[in-house]
Chains A and B, each alone.
Chain A
Amino acid sequence: MSIESISYIINTLYAIFAMTLIIFMVPGFAMLEAGIVRTKNVTAVLTINTLIYAIASLSFLLYGYSLAFGEFGSETMSKWAAFLFQMAFVGKVVNIMSGGVSERAKVIPLMLFTVIMASFLYPLIVNITWGTNFLEGTPFELSMHDLAGSTVIHSTGGWALLAAILIIGARRGRYTKEGGIRVIPASNIPLVTLGAFLLWIGWFGFNGGSVGSIASKENADLVALTIMNTNTAGLSGAIIVAIIMQIVYKKLDLTMILNGALGGLVAITAGPELYDIYTPIFIGAFGGCLVVIGVSFFDKIRIDDPVGALSVHLLNGIWGTIAVGIFASNGEDITLLGQLKGILFIGIFAFVSSYVVLYIINKIMPLRAGNDEEMQGLDVEECGIEAYPEFKRAF
């Protein structure tokens, strides 16, 4: 067998392995959200996560992939493996958004948005960054370096979430008329922990697979470095948040520590293959700080985001993309200005297009559950199945 076909096989195998790891993020998001919401909304959240995976992936197969990449095809691996790898990302964009509107968003309107996002909006963003790039040669051409999607995936999901929260509003009773904040605590911390770690594991495929090829000594090194740096940023994100929580609040809030780890992972995603092995410690730690600041900030301005997705994905997506411009600028294809331009351009497109689409969907079919339904919990009305029927809370 020729070297060429061996590397083709290895790359195919590797892409399918990476894709499998990324799909672990489906239960990752599902468990994290199921643990953070109240018991009365758990089935609804899980149903949304399940359908997002199914609908987003199928939409990408039917429309999205060709819009982003043209025809099915790859020279370095099986074209089906190349598709599967890209398909694994799509649902994540919507997952990021759906988590932040949990406990009040209805399932079906969210699925309509999933179809639009996975068929058109996200593929357009991929087209101008990783894909065939219809802007090539125009003044709008982007030079942003974003290996696995700090901006393309995480910020895009974050901008869509911001648009959704502005339209749908906060959970009932979350903010009082007198300006107070009412806390709605997580229902199941073990599930939050399991979900966060499934996401963390998924990230190794998310970033590692994005290097594109593992079938040479150089590429194998690059993939391993990418995964190592990815992991490091998660570690320092968790540690810095634990330290801040202990110093500022005197409590080691695990939900925040896990958010800190995820924030670090988002931040490293734009360029884990570009850094030495120590820079990610700083990038992840700064990402963790952003999570702590972001969660209180969004609460203060009454943007109700139960899972902290805006802080984890939007803020850190932006930070991670800037970080590439700061720590890995080479003055040619990677520049701070090029990074900022990408953030701004994609940010505006993602926010405005999501807002318009959600606004229209909301007019046709309200995104928000009725007051009674929200009080009773979405599980019964939307799904007919309670997550924990044997545990009734009388108070």
Chain B
Amino acid sequence: MKKIEAVIKPFKLEDVKEALAQSGVTGMTVSDVKGYGRQQGHSELYRGAEYVVDFLPKIKLELIVADEDVDSIISVIIESAKTGKIGDGKIFVSPIEKIVRIRTGEQDEEAI
């Protein structure tokens, strides 16, 4: 079992969700996050003075998948989240030790 975390551009969320749903993903968790990478912040203007917004708004989505699905899911996310411009985000994959479905007590693969 792996956890896939993807930080993406907020306006890409719908596309990514659709694409993931079509490839069989049944659930995910999303959160509003802020951050910066190579895109850095950007400058805005307020009352004639320029200022830098360091942290840009992004969406982080988290989903748990079986080991064999990791690569296909990653390519689905890349395909649907990509604009080709700087700031498209990143994908992180990490191992998951245990999953429990609260309602039924099912564990691990059955609980994905």
B residues near A255, Cβ cutoff 8 Å: 46-47
Is the CB–CB distance between B49 and A253 below 8 Å? no
Residue ID in chain B nearest A185 by CB atoms: B46
- Smallest CB separation, A171 vs chain B (Å): 14
Is the CB–CB distance between A253 and B55 below 8 Å? no
- Smallest CB separation, B8 vs chain A (Å): 19
A181 to B45, CA, bound (A): 12
Is the CB–CB distance between A308 and B55 below 8 Å? no
Is the CB–CB distance between A395 and B55 below 8 Å? yes
A268 to B46, CA, bound (A): 27
A59-95 interface code vs B (CB 8 A; 1 in, 0 out):
0000000000000000000000000000000000000
A172 lies within 8 A of chain B by Cβ: no
- The prevalent SS among residues of B at the interface is strand
The answer, among B34, B47, B51, for a CB contact under 8 Å with A253, is: B47
A296 lies within 8 A of chain B by Cβ: yes
Is the CB–CB distance between B45 and A251 below 8 Å? yes
B48 lies within 8 A of chain A by Cβ: yes
A292 to B44, CA, bound (A): 17
A295 lies within 8 A of chain B by Cβ: yes
- Smallest CB separation, A313 vs chain B (Å): 16
Is the CB–CB distance between B47 and A256 below 8 Å? yes
- Smallest CB separation, A279 vs chain B (Å): 28
A182 to B51, CA, bound (A): 7
A299 to B48, CA, bound (A): 10
A-B contact count (CB 8 A): 36
A residues near B48, Cβ cutoff 8 Å: 245, 248-249, 253, 256, 292, 295-296, 299
B29-53 interface code vs A (CB 8 A; 1 in, 0 out):
0000010000000001111111100
- Smallest CB separation, B59 vs chain A (Å): 15
A395 to B50, CA, bound (A): 20
* B: contact size bracket: 10 to 19
Is the CB–CB distance between B47 and A295 below 8 Å? yes
B residues near A183, Cβ cutoff 8 Å: 44, 46-47, 49-51
B residues near A186, Cβ cutoff 8 Å: 46
A residues near B51, Cβ cutoff 8 Å: 182-183, 185
Is the CB–CB distance between B45 and A249 below 8 Å? yes
Is the CB–CB distance between A181 and B49 below 8 Å? yes
A249 to B44, CA, bound (A): 10
Residue ID in chain A nearest B51 by CB atoms: A183
Is the CB–CB distance between B49 and A299 below 8 Å? yes
Is the CB–CB distance between A296 and B45 below 8 Å? no
B residues near A245, Cβ cutoff 8 Å: 48
Residue ID in chain B nearest A311 by CB atoms: B47
Can you list 21 residue pairs at the A/B interface with Cβ under 8 Å?
A: A182-B51, A183-B44, A183-B47, A185-B51, A186-B46, A245-B48, A251-B45, A253-B45, A253-B47, A253-B48, A255-B46, A255-B47, A256-B47, A256-B48, A296-B48, A296-B49, A299-B47, A299-B48, A299-B49, A395-B34, A395-B55
A183-B49, A248-B48 are known; give 18 further A-B pairs, CB within 8 A.
A181-B49, A183-B44, A183-B50, A185-B44, A185-B46, A185-B51, A251-B45, A253-B46, A253-B47, A253-B48, A255-B46, A256-B48, A292-B48, A295-B47, A295-B48, A299-B47, A299-B48, A395-B55
Nearest first, the 6 A-B pairs at minimum CB distance are A183-B51, A251-B45, A183-B46, A296-B48, A185-B46, A183-B49
